[in-house]
Structure 1
Amino acid sequence: MTEQLKRATISDVAEHAGVSRAAVSKVLRNAYGVSPAMRTKVEDSMALLNYRPLASARGMRGSSYTLGVFLVDLSNTFFSVLVEGVRDVAEELGYQVLIGQARQGLDAQQKLIEAMVDRRMDGLLLIAPFGPNEELEKLGRTIPVVVLGRHGPAMHFDTVASDDIAGSALIVDHLVALGHQRISMLANTQPSSEPGMPQTVRLEGYDIAMRKHGLDEWIDHVPGRWGYESGLEAGRSLAKRPSGKRPTALHGGADVAALGAFTSLFDSGIDIPKDISLVGYDNVPAASLPPIGLTTVDQSGVQMGRQAAELLLSRIEGRQESQHILVPPRLIIRKTTCPPASADASSTDPSRRSFPVE
């Protein structure tokens, strides 16, 4: 039996012709500014490689050379970091990125996604969408889809996410090495979490890490949402607890919520980190500001965005098998964590701090 040849992609044509993928994209869409020599070189490579755009992606749907990016929460600045990576790759290949923001709720989300499909975008990149996997699978059967922030598996769409189990473990391990036991986590409990959502996996990682250290009795989920206002409210609720019942450290879930908690704890006269150590997740730009210096988990947002865009473009070119990428997280230690006031010398030995310090 003759082995089936691999279908040539736009990347193959670019490599063969010795040009960028953006140049190939311009030739394909007959864009302004392509020299006759460049066009000839690219078209010759297409002919030699037997390259042809997938009919379902280019001919039947037509090509708008636009990618739709869906998100819900514009206040979370980590999403803008993801979009930066998406835009970098898209612009290299001559695509435009159109961003749509929906209000909270499944109905609003569904209406916006349907509007993007109706406008004949070539593919959709969804940032932490809500709802059951079945709806995403249904969408992925009609248009190329990549989901950012949500974990696989899936059959008809790709995913790119931080390894949230490992990220929460980095936080708990760091705090335990400093001598903390009463470690709480700000949980994103609204809306209800679907399997694979970052709030579900990150919380699971916290529970696993706490149990690994024998700290089952101190597992404490502080309910709320991963937003600044909810972070403020979580900080107020912790400040109202009697000092003996208050955690000595808090896994903030996400930077945007951790920064809210930072503000309300500070306003309540609680010292960060002497009274409560605080760790975020995302490494948004504000986390590194000197007055804050938030210890956090970096999940390489720009790189995640780039990888998601590359997956989406390869789907547009015809790839059908699903791919699921987990990005290794990295702990960034700054000023908001230190040993608890009650820790003994053995538990705060600096030699136990085996993490990179920024």
Structure 2
Amino acid sequence: MNVPRVTIRDVAHAAGVSPAAVSKVLNDGYGVSAAMREKVLRAVGELDYRPNAAARAMRGRSHTVGVVADIREPIVGQITEGIQEGLERSSLDVLLAPARTVQASQRSCIDAMLHRNPDGLILVVPALAYSALEALGQMIPTVLIGRHGGGRHFDSVMDDDAMGARLAVEHLARLGHERICHIAMPMGRFRRPSVLPQTAREDGYVAAMRDHGLEPDVITTDYSEEGGHAGALAALQRPEPPTAVFAGTDTVALGVLRAAHERGLRVPEDLAVVGADNIPVGALPQISLTTIDPAGKLNGSTAARLLRERIDGRRNPVTHAITPSLIVRGTTEPGGE
């Protein structure tokens, strides 16, 4: 027996709102109250509404996976390589959309990708609102990389960023450092538990410092080389400057190293530096950056596996946390690695 397809009008009726309001919620439009969003998404879930499901079925499978990521970030190369490896034994090809890490750019790339009728989506550090991600997960098999908190209608793969920060603090504390500064990035409009990596790293750093009886020292800038440079200069100009810096990413750490060089400081004797992401340039002997390795390729291959399961029909959400590791090099210990 054919079951009638649930329409947007059915959702509107169940939620007690107009079809236009349903569309606005599903597209993460402005001016939607929290109460309306909750009513619509509850109706979407209860009715198992899947926008454009019939049209997608008529067009058939495209045998492609859409990947939306900021390709300017060095770790994205590792993640993409892992995704490709995870799809090697399937009929799925990768379509990469180079979005910036802002909501409008990612939304535009996702919309453009959906027009190509991919079989699924992998979103790397998505900046969309949680409700928009839930709605997207009901439209198409979706896996997020780097977004904490999990969800009901999508899968999530992320590093245990709080543990990574703890590894950095414990390493520096064992070396005798007490004034350990962390260069972070703003939390933005996100709210726990659905946050981006920088917030989880900052939370882990603060908790680890307090566990060691040390005073947290956070400088908020942005995850760029310039941001690391500016943050480090601000910290190093204090009457009692830090003796160690845990940078939010390796790119930030490169800015910290530049600032240390400009001030005539020896690394690691005068200033120890730890980064995060284990980008290839950090392993060069001229840099030898101690870093938190988030296993970028493993993030990608795990996301690919979960997406294939989603495409094959799995509906229950999966949240997979990857344990990071510390790679000790010369910026914290002379002769490290």
State how far apart, in whole Å, the 1-side matches of 2:63 and 2:139 are: 17
Matched residue, 1:52: none
| Residues 258 and 81 (structure 1), Cα distance of their counterparts in 2 relative to 1, 3 Å cut | same
> In the TM superposition, what are the counterparts of 1:229-268 in structure 2 within 5 Å?
229-242=226-239, 245-268=240-263
Other structure's SS at 2:276 match: coil
Cα drift, residue 338 of structure 1: 4.1
Q: Match of 2:249, as an amino acid?
A: A
The equivalent residue for 2:157 is: 160
The separation in 2 between residues aligned to 1:95 and 1:235, in whole angstroms, is 44
- Identical positions, percent: 40
Deviation at 1:93, TM superposition (A): 1.1
Structure 1 position 197 matched with structure 2 position 164: no
Bigger Cα displacement from structure 2, 188-197 vs 134-143: 188-197
Structure 1 letter corresponding to 2:314: R
Query: 2:296 aligns to what?
Result: 301
Corresponding residue for residue 63 of structure 2: 65
Instruction: Provide the rounded CA distance (Å) in 1 between the counterparts of 2:164 and 2:90.
Output: 33
Question: CA deviation digits over 1:5-61, x for unaligned, max 9?
Answer: xxxxxxxxxxxxxxxxxxxxxxxxxxxxxxxxxxxxxxxxxxxxxxxxxx9798455
Q: Equivalents in 1 of 2:251, 2:170: separation in Å?
A: 22
State the shift of 1:117 in Å.
Answer: 1.0
Closer/same/farther in 2, CA of residues 176 and 64 from structure 1, 3 Å limit: same
The answer to whether structure 1 residue 107 and structure 2 residue 104 are counterparts is yes
Unaligned runs of 5+ in 2: 1-52
Q: Give the TM-score taking structure 1 as reference length.
A: 0.75
Match of 2:166 in 1: 169
User: Which structure 2 residues correspond to residues 70-85 of structure 1 after superposition, within 5 A?
Assistant: 70-72=68-70, 74-85=71-82
**Partner amino acid for 1:205?**
G
CA distance in 2, matches of 1:265, 1:238: 11
Match of 2:331 in 1: 336
Which one of the candidate residues 114, 119, 123 is aligned to 2:116? 119
The counterpart of 1:179, out of the listed 176, 179, 182, is: 176
The verdict on how the C-alpha distance between 1:193 and 1:186 changes in structure 2, with shifts beyond 3 A counting, is farther
**Aligned residue in 1 for 2:280:** 285
Q: In structure 2, what is the Cα distance between the partners aligned to 1:259 and 1:116?
A: 34
Paired residues, number? 282
After TM superposition, the structure 1 = structure 2 runs for residues 19-168 of structure 1, keeping only pairs within 5 Å, are 59-60=57-58, 62-72=60-70, 74-168=71-165
3-state SS of the aligned residue for 1:68?
strand
- Structure 1 stretches lacking a partner, 5+ long: 1-54, 340-356
Letter of the 1:198 counterpart: P
Specify the SS of the correspondent of 1:70: strand
CA distance in structure 1 between the partners assigned to 2:101 and 2:168 by the alignment: 29
Distance in 2, matches of 1:98 and 1:128, equals 17
When residues 268 and 296 of structure 1 are mapped into structure 2, their CA distance, relative to the original with a 3 A threshold, is same
1:207 alignment partner AA: V
Q: Structure 1 residues 272 and 241 mapped into 2: Cα distance closer, same or farther (>3 Å)?
A: same
Deviation at 1:96, TM superposition (A): 1.3
Moved more, 138-147 or 267-276: 267-276
- Per the TM alignment, residue 282 of structure 1 is displaced from its structure 2 partner at its CA by 1.1
Task: Tell me, yes or no, if the aligned pair for 1:76 and 1:227 is still in contact at 8 Å.
Answer: no
Task: Determine the structure 2 residue equivalent to 1:213.
Answer: 212
Secondary structure of the structure 1 residue equivalent to 2:94: strand
Which of 1 and 2 has greater Rg? 1
Q: Secondary structure at the match of 1:241?
A: coil
SS in 1 for 2:87: helix
1:229-257 C-alpha deviation (Å, 9 max, x unpaired): 21222233233333xx2111111011111
For 2:241 and 2:160, the matched residues in 1 are separated by 29
Look up the equivalent residue of 1:317 and give its one-letter code: D
Q: 118-127 or 269-278: which moved more?
A: 269-278
Secondary structure of 1:306's match? Answer: helix
Give the aligned residue type for 2:104.
Answer: D
The one-letter code matched in structure 2 to 1:113 is I
State whether residues 101 and 127 of structure 2, in contact with CA within 8 Å, keep that contact through their aligned partners in structure 1.
no
| More deviation, 192-201/273-282 | 192-201
Q: TM-score, normalised by structure 2?
A: 0.79
**Is 1:323 equivalent to 2:337 in the alignment?**
no
Distance change (3 Å), C-alpha of 1:233 and 1:57: farther
Per-residue CA deviations over 1:143-186 (Å, capped at 9, x if unaligned) read 11100011232101111111111111111111111111111101
Distance 1:263 1:193, change over 3 A: farther
Structure 1 residue 135 displacement after superposition? 1.1
Task: Provide the C-alpha distance between the structure 2 equivalents of 1:103 and 1:164, rounded to a whole number of angstroms.
Answer: 21
1:318-354 per-residue CA deviation (whole Å, 9 max, x = no partner) reads 1110101111111111101149xxxxxxxxxxxxxxx
Pairwise CA distance, 1:194: 4.1
Name the CA distance, whole Å, in 2 between partners of 1:227 and 1:146: 26
